[in-house]
Chain A
Amino acid sequence: MLAYARDSFLFSRPGCPRAGWRLPMTMEAPELNALLLRVAGNRDRAAFAALFSHFAPRVKAYLLRLGAPSASAEDLAQESLLNLWRKAHLFDPAKASAATWLFTIARNLRIDAIRRERRPELEPDDFSPEGEAGPDDALVWADNEVRLRAALRGLPPDQIQVIELSFFADKPHSQIAGELGIPLGTVKSRLRLAMARLKRALGEAE
Chain B
Amino acid sequence: MIRHHPDEGLLLAYAGGATDEATSLIVATHMGYCGTCRAQAAKLEAIGGGLLQDLTPVPMSSRALDSILARLDAAPVFERRAPSLSRDGTPNVLRRYIGGDLDQVRWRRVNANVSYKTLFRRGPVTARLLRGVAGAETGPHRHQGAEYTLVLKGGFADVTGRYGPGDLQMMEGDMRHNPVADPGEDCINLAVTRGSLKFESLSHRILAPLFGF
Chain B proximity of A167: nearest CB distance (Å): 4
A108 partner residues in chain B, CB cutoff 8 A = 17
B92 partner residues in chain A, CB cutoff 8 A = 123, 126
Contact between B71 and A82, CB atoms less than 8 A apart: yes
A97 partner residues in chain B, CB cutoff 8 A = 46, 49
Chain A proximity of B164: nearest CB distance (Å): 10
Q: Is the interface of A mostly helix, strand, loop or mixed?
A: helix
B90 partner residues in chain A, CB cutoff 8 A = 128
A127 to B159, CA, bound (A): 30
Q: Which residue of B lies closest to A98 (CB)?
A: B49
Contact between A138 and B68, CB atoms less than 8 A apart: no
Contact between B42 and A123, CB atoms less than 8 A apart: no
A9 to B23, CA, bound (A): 28
Contact between A96 and B46, CB atoms less than 8 A apart: yes
Binary contact track A37-57/B, C-beta < 8 Å → 1, others 0: 000000001001100110111
A166 partner residues in chain B, CB cutoff 8 A = 9, 12-13, 15-16, 18
Contact between B13 and A74, CB atoms less than 8 A apart: no
Q: Is the interface of B mostly helix, strand, loop or mixed?
A: helix
A61 to B53, CA, bound (A): 10
Q: Which residue of A lies closest to B37 (CB)?
A: A134
Known: A149-B50, A187-B9. A120 touches B93 (CB 8 A): yes
Contact between A81 and B91, CB atoms less than 8 A apart: no
Chain A proximity of B127: nearest CB distance (Å): 10
Contact between A169 and B49, CB atoms less than 8 A apart: no
Contact between B39 and A134, CB atoms less than 8 A apart: yes
B45 partner residues in chain A, CB cutoff 8 A = 96, 100, 103-104
Known: A49-B65, A128-B33. A141 touches B46 (CB 8 A): yes
A171 to B23, CA, bound (A): 12
Q: Is A35 an interface residue (CB 8 A)?
A: no
Contact of B47 among A17, A153, A167 (CB under 8 A): A167
Q: Is A36 an interface residue (CB 8 A)?
A: no
Contact of A60 among B49, B58, B97 (CB under 8 A): B58
A125 to B17, CA, bound (A): 21
Q: Is A4 an interface residue (CB 8 A)?
A: no
A14 to B21, CA, bound (A): 33
Q: Which residue of A lies closest to B55 (CB)?
A: A61
Known: A48-B72, A166-B13. A103 touches B81 (CB 8 A): no
Contact between B80 and A123, CB atoms less than 8 A apart: yes
Contact between B18 and A110, CB atoms less than 8 A apart: no
Q: Which residue of B lies closest to A167 (CB)?
A: B16
Contact between A64 and B58, CB atoms less than 8 A apart: yes
Contact between B47 and A145, CB atoms less than 8 A apart: no
Listed from nearest, the 7 A-B pairs whose CB atoms lie closest are A134-B35, A100-B49, A57-B57, A138-B42, A166-B16, A134-B39, A99-B49
**Interface pairs (22), CB distance under 8 Å:** A9-B54, A14-B56, A14-B57, A24-B57, A56-B60, A95-B42, A96-B49, A100-B48, A103-B48, A119-B21, A120-B93, A122-B32, A123-B92, A126-B32, A132-B34, A132-B35, A137-B39, A145-B50, A148-B46, A168-B51, A170-B18, A188-B9
Inter-chain pairs besides A61-B58, A62-B52, A137-B39, 17 sampled, C-beta below 8 Å: A52-B64, A52-B68, A57-B60, A82-B75, A97-B46, A100-B50, A103-B49, A108-B17, A122-B28, A122-B29, A129-B86, A131-B91, A138-B38, A141-B42, A145-B50, A172-B19, A173-B9
